Copies of this chain bind each other. A is one copy, B any other.
Amino acid sequence: MELQAAKQKFIQSWGALGSSWGINRTMAQIHALLLVAPDPLSADEIMEELQISRGNANMNIRALIDWGLLFKTLKTGDRKEYFIAEKDMWEVMKCIITQRKKRELEPMLKVLDEISAVDGNAPEDQEFEKVIQDIKLFSSKADASLDTLLKADSNWFIGTFLKMIR
């Protein structure tokens, strides 16, 4: 496969996958583009390369910066802003986990807390109570585990899981 074709394919695939990862297509494409770009790119270059509008480009660049997956850089004597991607996969993963945890897990915990303020104590309620408690226990455990994972460093992760794999 040719280098250019390969890059193209990577960008497209990463974009397609993005959607199932809770990231929208453009956002994922921009990230992919910058991952394989040898040098920082300006917003205009990104628009050009991916054939997207200014507004779209800007919004998603902002979002990626918020997520911590992109950084601004400046070139001396140039007023444009240039962008580079976080290339350390461990960091990338941490960013993604952080965001998804915030959007997927934490709202769940919040709802469960509200729900478990259910006051009835009829025998029939016990079943319901139990299900909710179970989910709550499990979710908070997962939540805590992810927090720990986020604090851990790359080596720890690799080490632990290599052990797991054997």
Question: Taking beta carbons and an 8 Å cutoff, which residues of A are in contact with B?
Answer: 1-3, 6-7, 9-10, 13, 17, 20-22, 35-36, 38, 87, 89-90, 93, 100, 103-104, 107-108, 111, 114-115, 117-120, 122, 124-125, 127-128, 131-132, 134-135, 137-138, 141-142, 144-145, 148-149, 152, 158, 161-162, 164-165
Contacts and interface: CB of A to CB of B under 8 A. Distances in A.
Nearest to A6: B118
Given A1-B114, A13-B108, A104-B21, A87 B124 contact: no
B117 A1 contact: yes
Nearest to A93: B138
Contact of A1 (B2, B17, B115): B115
A100 B19 CA distance: 12
Chief secondary structure at chain A's binding surface: helix
Contacts of A165: 144-145, 148
Count of chain copies? 2
A28 to B, nearest CB: 11
A49 to B, nearest CB: 15
Nearest to A20: B104
19 contacts: A1-B118, A2-B120, A3-B122, A3-B124, A3-B125, A3-B128, A6-B118, A10-B115, A13-B107, A13-B108, A13-B115, A20-B104, A36-B127, A38-B124, A38-B128, A93-B142, A141-B162, A144-B165, A148-B164
